[in-house]
Structure 1
Amino acid sequence: MTTGHPSSLRHRRPARSRTLRVVLALGAVGIVAAIAVAVVPLLLPPGPRPLFQLPVACGETWQLGTYPGHDDYDVDLFPTKGEAWGRPVLASYAGKVTEAGINGSLGGRAPDDPDGPRGRGGGYWVKIDHGGRWETQYLHLLEPPLVRVGQRVAQGQQIGRVGSTGNSGAPHLHYEQRRGWEKAETYFDGVPSGITHDDTEYTVTRKSNNCPAG
């Protein structure tokens, strides 16, 4: 005896099949679009270098240096006057915070125990994306950063304080500028620092022009 159900199913199944194919196709298009949004910017050449400023207070003079084994392009900053501990660390240029926390381990060096045990890596640190595939990094901060991941910061905004967390021998700011996936020579106010390799010890002094607008 026939009931009519098989005939009904024959009519419904093609419609369901077509709907499923459409859904899968739209999903595939969405996945491809998402991958393109994430990957294509990484394949583009870096944009023009932002007008980075020294990551320290306006008008202060700091020593920029490197030493054998420090790694090419890495810069250590020390004030030429006064104590380094706790000095404000400022954003070199406007951008979006992509890292703000602990890199490696903190160790135990602090103003009241400057010879405490070293940690590993950069200690408290911040990384900022400035657009055009340009980034800056700020390491060995004294305490948790004053900014959070996802936050937009202005040039000259304080993001932390100078310390000696992580693998650090003395209070200072370890600083890097990155173009794409690679480190680049640091420029401040449009002037190259001259620190391009770590074959020999090298120091230079610069005055900060990281000043409030106007």
Structure 2
Amino acid sequence: MLGPVTTGHRTRSRTRRRTSRALIAIGAVVTVLALAVVVVPLLRPPGPRPLFQLPVACGETWQLGTYPGHGDYDVDLFPLEGPAWGQSVLASYGGTVTVAGINGSLGGRTPNDPDGPRGRGGGYWVKIDHGGKWETQYLHLLEPPLVRVGQEVAQGEQIGRVGSTGNSGAPHLHYEQRRGWDKVEAHFDGSPSGITNDDTEYTVRRTSNNCLTD
């Protein structure tokens, strides 16, 4: 008498189901690990504040200021000697360039046409990641930045020149320090700038200690 005859379909179906479940499980593990790589660093608290320096040449005295409608913690810098156009903009601290390009539109304000049309946003700009969730931003540069995305820069290294690109009324450097997602009061050489809000016009003078060391 013949025994039961099987075609093998059931065995293959069970094998496929097991393989599918295994692949789904592996995919879930990979997804969780990928999310952990992204999310865990975001949950870590910021590191200690770097010893940021003024983003201008060593020994120079500049005016730092804000005005109503400017934005809390935003700092505008103007030199007290010589024309603002083309002044060197330096990295406040060492780090990695994460943005080097155009924010908004450039407009048409140049040294030869200082009253040209305004652009939008920050114009030519640079953003530097200093580690520990600390960043600095430099806006309204005269021309394309002197650095590129991914480049490592040292404290005091030139990253651009002062201009009036973007939504700018006069040549100056718009500067920000950020901790995580938030702008914070800019500190220079370990001291707070005093520029915390834009309720009223406020100015202060500071001398740069952004001096290269051997």
Q: Which residue of 2 aligns with 1:181?
A: 181
Paired residue type of 1:32: V
Deviations 1:68-106 (A, max 9, x none): 111111000011111111111111111122211111111
Query: 1:24 Cα deviation (Å)?
Result: 2.1
Q: Which residue of 2 aligns with 1:87?
A: 87
Q: Which residue of 2 aligns with 1:71?
A: 71
Q: Which residue of 2 aligns with 1:118?
A: 118
Q: Which residue of 2 aligns with 1:145?
A: 145
Please list every run of 5 or more consecutive structure 1 residues that lacks an aligned counterpart in the other structure: none
Aligned counterparts of 1:6 and 1:184: Cα–Cα separation in 2: 73
- My pick for the range that moved more, 30-39 or 164-173, is 30-39
Aligned counterparts of 2:35 and 2:110: Cα–Cα separation in 1: 44
Please list every run of 5 or more consecutive structure 2 residues that lacks an aligned counterpart in the other structure: none
Aligned partner of residue 131 in structure 2, secondary structure: coil
Aligned counterparts of 2:90 and 2:9: Cα–Cα separation in 1: 69
From the superposition, tell whether residues 21 and 51 of structure 1 become closer, same or farther in structure 2 (CA, over 3 Å): same
Q: Which residue of 2 aligns with 1:127?
A: 127
Paired residue type of 1:103: N
RMSD: 1.6
Paired residue type of 2:48: P
Aligned partner of residue 31 in structure 2, secondary structure: helix
Aligned counterparts of 2:51 and 2:15: Cα–Cα separation in 1: 59
Paired residue type of 2:199: D
Query: 1:14 Cα deviation (Å)?
Result: 2.5
Query: 1:198 Cα deviation (Å)?
Result: 1.0
Q: Which residue of 1 aligns with 2:53?
A: 53
Aligned counterparts of 1:213 and 1:14: Cα–Cα separation in 2: 70
Aligned counterparts of 1:23 and 1:131: Cα–Cα separation in 2: 37
Aligned counterparts of 2:128 and 2:86: Cα–Cα separation in 1: 20
The TM-score, its normalising length taken from structure 2, stands at 0.93
Query: 1:8 Cα deviation (Å)?
Result: 3.0
Q: Which residue of 2 aligns with 1:12?
A: 12
Deviations 1:111-160 (A, max 9, x none): 11011000111001111111111111100000111112222221111111
Query: 1:6 Cα deviation (Å)?
Result: 5.8
